A and B are shown apart, each in its own frame.
Chain A
Amino acid sequence: MTHTTKIILAGEGGQGIQTIAKVITEVAAAQGMMVSYIPVFGVEQRGTPSVALIILSNEEIFYPRFDNADYAIVLQKRAVSSVESYLHNKTKIVFDSSTIGAENLPKEAIHRFGIPATQLAAEKFTPKAFNLIVAGKLSQVLNLDEDRVWQKIEKLLGKKFKTTEIREKSKQAFLFGRQFVFELKHFSKPIFQPATGKIVSKNAEKTALIDPERCKGCGICIVKCPVGALKFSDTLGVFATPVPEIDLEKCIACGNCFRFCPDGAIAVTKNKKFK
């Protein structure tokens, strides 16, 4: 009997979607399954959703793309639209409930499985380990051998585990993901969503404006601030990366952050009285 599983995996560019896909498919292939994997890509390196299409089967796979997914894994709000056309009434949709509100899922997404990976990573491990939690859970759902999967993760991501501590935390995150029980009815609140509007801070002398709809969390403003008035906050910007916050008391309104910001997401000015 033919057993074929069609999976679409979608998230923000830079979230490690293709890495998760590589881990899953290379282990599945080593375990003897017929596997197909193709990334869906456009010109941009970042800035558009990263999507992977995976097929696992016990029979020969001819074509890497498909219309209807058995599993849709969505890890960022902006990526929901990338999976929409692949949903049908049997699709199981696995979503990061800490970044996507269940109410933002398309109505075709009947079978919902929540995993607040971003929140779990930030609270229990390291923020960057969020995709390891997802990879862990996914590998469990697809019956992939735990040890093989971890070995593959080490092989593909080993360079990023710069200290033993990071490596340990990463492994814990992966194992945690494997054991995680999906949220089925009551989902976490999507508190890790990109902010909208503008963040204005004002004191007697200066006014600062930060635009999370433009900020990509590159950190250049923090590096170029001569007085250390900027640091990353908990607010997320448009690519779900942290947006800086400003300490107006330290700030000297030198204009460096404004000059250097590649996205035009920050400006500070001296209030009229003090100019």
Chain B
Amino acid sequence: MSNEKTESLFITDADLAALASDLIAAGTRVVAPVPSGDDEGRTHYRALSSADRFALDGPLPCGSLKEFFLPPTEVLLRWRRDQGKVEVDPAPPDAPATVILGAAPCDVAGPPVVDRVMDWDFRDEPWFARREATVVIARACPGRDASCFCTAVGLSPSSTRGADIMLSPTGESGGGHAVRVLTDKGADLVKRHRARFGAARGAAGAERLAAEAESRVAGNLDIDPRAVRSWLAANFDHPLWRRLADRCHGCGACAAVCPACHCFDIVDEPDGTDHGARRRNWDMCQFSLFTLHGSGHNPRQTQSARIRQRVMHKFSIYPERFGEILCTGCGRCARACPGGMDLPEILRELQRLAGGKSTAGGA
């Protein structure tokens, strides 16, 4: 980003909660990790109704931030039919002023990666309307668990990519975060709420925690993405794909929770006999219907072809077209998979096949 500026500040936990309250009171949608209250201790990114509900130290939320830029379902236009004539009303994108608070760097990095395809041959206006209406306050991550692999895809638990403001825990007993203001949008938010921020402190503690988190995650997986990409381009028919399909159920859980997956389906749904809506819904490449042609032909007939597509799109096709990996290493696909598919494990295998050695993680 050309408008990168770095101003350093500090915010206490009480001021952070107060900042959220101020924003909500001003009519801003504030999205933050919220405990679901279930026995498993899950969290979700939710629009807060009051500032007392968010919790920054839980597990990675079930879903990524994607739904706040590409909702699971949205109306593109409404239509009405009257005596053979069809009237069409485009629906303006719903893009409320939003502040995302305390999101993990792997989630925050997702939208900038997806921006590339959303502004490729066609500019996706609803996507960019929401991107522009949103200020992102990221929070450095301690490294959640053994499924994390952000460091293997060029990020880290303290990456600032996609963030307007970065919060870093400093390790002080009283809590609080070191604050770095990274963009004009971030500077504008800080200016409007200046009283909530104090003079910079705790940088050394924040750096130490970041270094610890980075080495923890780096121990999970170590690959050379270029070697993996070359191998993928040359091994379309490798027996590996067949083997990977064995335990796959062919559901879309991996794509649903992915910060970078962005495929969608468009459907016309009638509301009664003479009017209805055209909607855009998330779609998932592991469904056989995803590629089923009207003719009955399906170019991806088997689950192994669909798994190959998912891996190749992320680590070969997208890098080839846009120069970056379509994966932020959050590990959600691995955590969510009901069949026990594990992307870090698959990448480790690809690295091995590509001839390099991946010593980190695994058995």
- Is this pair of chains taken from one and the same complex? no
Seen from chain B, the residues whose Cβ lies within 8 Å of a Cβ on chain A are: none
